[in-house]
Structure 1
């Protein structure tokens, strides 16, 4: 472009930065950003957003640089969107940079970002990082910050407490919800079901499921997936299949994640032949299995000394690849 004297616009630089960032080449992306500024081109909001997101990624993470760029973005007058803030705060909390995360939200809110959204995202990020106590402590400041502890915040905290195995503390939060007149969400019920299955308390998990149905809290795909996973891990395969078939008949229909989870659990339990049926069912349902799906079932069948069936998996994979190539 330079040799041909073409005009290089800020969007051109943004595209180059994005390409490097997607490949995990964050050092090159940063150098490209610096070169862009050195040549007199001003980054726009999209340039800052994409670069910060890539710097926060697992591959090539550079949080100190992300923090500097976040500050530059704000001082340049660009307001980040909810997606970018969520990724940025999550990366900070995962890395133990809680003070930096709090300062970032404070700066955002001073510049007009909605307090409710900003501090809710911070609580969500703290809970993801396993810092339930810090999240609870922050809710105590909500009234002063002009925020409200809503259903979604309770869901994040309850899930974090359950992941820590702190059932009593989670139940106390549910009592707080009731006193505040907030209904128990499907997400919280799903978390409770998953927790009780993990603790091998099937009866309690079923009580939660039954209560959901009675109170008109319709289970989602994620709820049914938690039931399937719990049953398979307990060796209750017929119950897992009953739930799966119920989904196919009455909905919500199993999605790609449900199929993938189900076949992975079956293979771990030495039921790879059943997992092969799921691949066949995916194809019939017009859901394309991934390479990981095929590999999981293939290795599972080989471990179970079912090489003939494993070869069927390979033939199915090759047939699908050939079919997709011809359809392009």
Structure 2
């Protein structure tokens, strides 16, 4: 364990806690955290953020909320990073009512929220199938002075595709250029997979032609999906066209 002679400052303790958290030795991290109080060392925001992050990554959300509350009792205000870490943990563990409440609390406290925070919540809502709530949050970003980036669009397009809202997904794809945010290879692959998963091979072919025109390639997940289509008993002729188009444009033998 830690002794006064071996570790004498908060920074050193934070490094130890971070190391234990990364190694998923969260109980050891908790012991160091408790010993800090015994040694009359006051954890700083970095220390709290590290511990909250470690607990969240292991799905121990209720335990993570304790240091989050404790730091405020000790007079330390959570920063954007603290909230982002907790929001991410809550979303990844399907506890979505609390993230929305936290986001409102942050906005009410006039915290300078960055896009990372909004992306975390939007992605959590999409993964949970709460697409309407995600759309509302996404649509309100500009009014908050926050401009969506390519990752935000990719999250939303993926969420829409997952719900079968393909027209809305392509509408976002077309909207990006006008908003000064060009689609990337990931954007195209997301919507192509969405189309293929919904048996829209002709539509997917059109989007792939556009993707290739802009110099992007199909990723491994998209290729795997097309290979799956070609292995079916009744092969869609458009799937064959997809293969031929990608084969001409991709240097590596993918088929």
TM-score in same-fold range (> 0.5): yes
User: Paired residue for 1:24?
Assistant: 24
Matched, 1:232 2:227: yes
* Shift of residue 165, structure 1, vs aligned partner: 2.7
SS in 2 for 1:234: helix
CA distance change for structure 1 residues 243 and 43 in 2, over 3 Å: closer, same or farther?
A: farther
Matched, 1:197 2:196: yes
* Shift of residue 92, structure 1, vs aligned partner: 0.9
CA distance change for structure 1 residues 119 and 199 in 2, over 3 Å: closer, same or farther?
A: closer
Which of 219, 235, 257 is the aligned partner of 2:216?
219
- Number of equivalent positions: 242
* Shift of residue 234, structure 1, vs aligned partner: 2.3
Q: Is the 8 A contact 2:164 2:198 kept in 1?
A: no
User: Paired residue for 1:246?
Assistant: 250
User: Paired residue for 1:313?
Assistant: none
Q: Which consecutive unaligned segments of at least 5 residues does structure 2 have? A: 232-239
Q: Is the 8 A contact 1:86 1:125 kept in 2?
A: no
SS in 2 for 1:64: helix
CA distance change for structure 1 residues 205 and 121 in 2, over 3 Å: closer, same or farther?
A: same
Scaled by the length of structure 1, the TM-score of the pair is 0.59
Q: Which consecutive unaligned segments of at least 5 residues does structure 1 have? A: 250-261, 267-328
RMSD: 3.8
Q: Following the alignment from structure 1 to structure 2, what is the Cα–Cα distance between the partners of residues 68 and 47? A: 14
**What are the equivalent positions in structure 2 for 1:115-264 lying under 5 Å apart?**
115-149=114-148, 151-174=150-173, 183-214=182-213, 216=214, 218-219=215-216, 223-235=218-230, 239=243, 243=247, 246-248=250-252
Structure possessing the higher radius of gyration over alpha carbons: 1
Q: Following the alignment from structure 2 to structure 1, what is the Cα–Cα distance between the partners of residues 103 and 92? A: 16
User: Paired residue for 2:11?
Assistant: 11
**What are the equivalent positions in structure 2 for 1:11-160 lying under 5 Å apart?**
11-57=11-57, 59=58, 61-73=59-71, 75-77=75-77, 79-81=79-81, 86-108=84-106, 110=109, 112-149=111-148, 151-160=150-159
SS in 1 for 2:250: helix
* Shift of residue 4, structure 1, vs aligned partner: 8.9
SS in 2 for 1:56: helix
Q: Is the 8 A contact 2:91 2:120 kept in 1?
A: no
SS in 1 for 2:122: helix
